[in-house]
Amino acid sequence: MAAPSGAASCEDFAEFQELLRVMRTIDDRIVHELNTTIPTASFVGKVDPGQTCKELYESLMDAHTNRERIIKNCISQTSAVVKTLKEEREKAHEDAALLKQLRKEQTKV
């Protein structure tokens, strides 16, 4: 079960959450994955359990690595936006819209 590996957009938080939900599918279905990976007695001679378990492990590790990369990338992008907004806020103390935007971005982080 492959996870999406495209670049994630952090601007739309709901879209980002949906991407993470899709990427968690393999974790959410781990019992099913194990049941279909480990052969029953009638299939022991037809399937190499060591190889199928190795493939499942690699799939899990790829999914975790991709999720971690996307999450860290989003944190980095959003932190940069927060830093920029804080600098702008220092220059314009009375800008309510800027303060609202800053708080929104801080909440994302």
pLDDT confidence of residue 2: 42
pLDDT higher than threshold 70 for residue 7: no
Cα separation of 58 and 66, whole Å?
Answer: 12
pLDDT confidence of residue 6: 47
Structure tokens at 17: 């959450």
In tens, the pLDDT along 33-79 reads 888 777 777 666 777 778 888 998 999 999 999 999 999 999 999 99
Q: What is the mean pLDDT of residues 4-16?
A: 71
Cα separation of 102 and 73, whole Å?
Answer: 19
With 0.85 as the threshold, say if the pTM is over it.
Answer: no
pLDDT confidence of residue 24: 92
Cα separation of 9 and 20, whole Å?
Answer: 11
